[in-house]
Amino acid sequence: MDNMTDSQTNETELMRRLALGEMDALSEIAKKYQNRVLSLAYRFLNDWSKSEDIAQETFIRIYKAAGTYKPQARFNTWLYRIVVNLCLDEQRKQAKAPISIEETMYNGASDSESSSIERKETIEIVKKAINELPERQKLAVILHRYENLSYDQICEVTQWSKSAVESLLVRAYANLREKLKKIENNIK
């Protein structure tokens, strides 16, 4: 949190260079933020190929917006807002179209390996529990738990009210606690 201001100054400078057409600046931004964008999109959508598309689209939008970028909003927040909107759009598209077998198979071979069977089972249960949450609870909890955003930052990114985010997070964690109770007992 302490170097947030330094980082913001740096990002403002990168955006200024990008506005002048320096593609190196975009490359730097993409390298710095791609992991955050991809992990958020993947946890939310469970699909690497769609998450890649979203990540690419995010940085293309940043490139297009460089000329009009105003550093008032924290760069981080602004970037997450783009990703969140793209994810919600994609989720709504997916809700209309049935998922193909190919996509489901592609999803299977993805998460970090090198884990014991028990750990793998835990991860599968965690994934399932999160994916079963209602859309907004899912998004709030991913931003809070995995992207490490504070509850205030989640409000800024989603533009939902404080009371809405608070209630979403409380319900999401309560739901997850319920769903995961079994495995928590097994781990102990």
The least distance separating another protein from the CB of residue 78, rounded to whole angstroms, comes to 17
Number of residues that bind another protein (CB under 8 A): 46
Q: What tokens does 38 get?
A: 């991809």
Beta carbons within 10 angstroms of residue 37's beta carbon: 25
Q: Does 4 bind another protein (CB under 8 A)?
A: no
* Per CB under 8 A, 27 contacts another protein: yes
Q: Quick check: 53 and 106 in contact, CB under 8 A?
A: no
Asked if residue 144 binds another protein (CB under 8 A), the reply is yes
| Site for another protein contains 169 (CB under 8 A) | yes
DSSP string, 156-169: HHH---HHHHHHHH
Alpha carbon distance 109, 94 (integer Å): 20
Is 126 a binding residue for another protein by CB under 8 A? The answer is: yes
Q: Residue from 2, 6, 102, 113 that binds another protein (CB under 8 A)? A: 113
Site for another protein (CB under 8 A): which residue of 11, 14, 15, 43? 43
Q: Does 132 bind another protein (CB under 8 A)?
A: no
Q: Does 140 bind another protein (CB under 8 A)?
A: no
Among 7, 8, 12, 39, binds another protein (CB under 8 A): 39
User: Residue ranges of the alpha helices (H) in the chain?
Assistant: 4-19, 23-45, 48-65, 75-96, 101-108, 117-131, 135-141, 151-158, 162-187
Question: Does 111 interact with another protein (rule: CB under 8 A)?
Answer: yes
- Burial class of residue 65 (count of CB atoms within 10 Å of its CB; 0-12, 13-18, 19+): middle
Q: What tokens appear for 20 in the block?
A: 């002048």
Q: Which of 130, 166, 132 has the alpha carbon at shortest distance from 40?
A: 130
Question: Which residues in this chain contact another protein in the complex, by CB under 8 A?
Answer: 23, 26-27, 30-31, 34-35, 37-39, 42-43, 52, 55-56, 59-60, 63, 110-113, 119, 122-123, 126-127, 130, 141, 144-146, 148, 150-151, 166, 169-170, 173-174, 176-177, 180, 183-184, 187
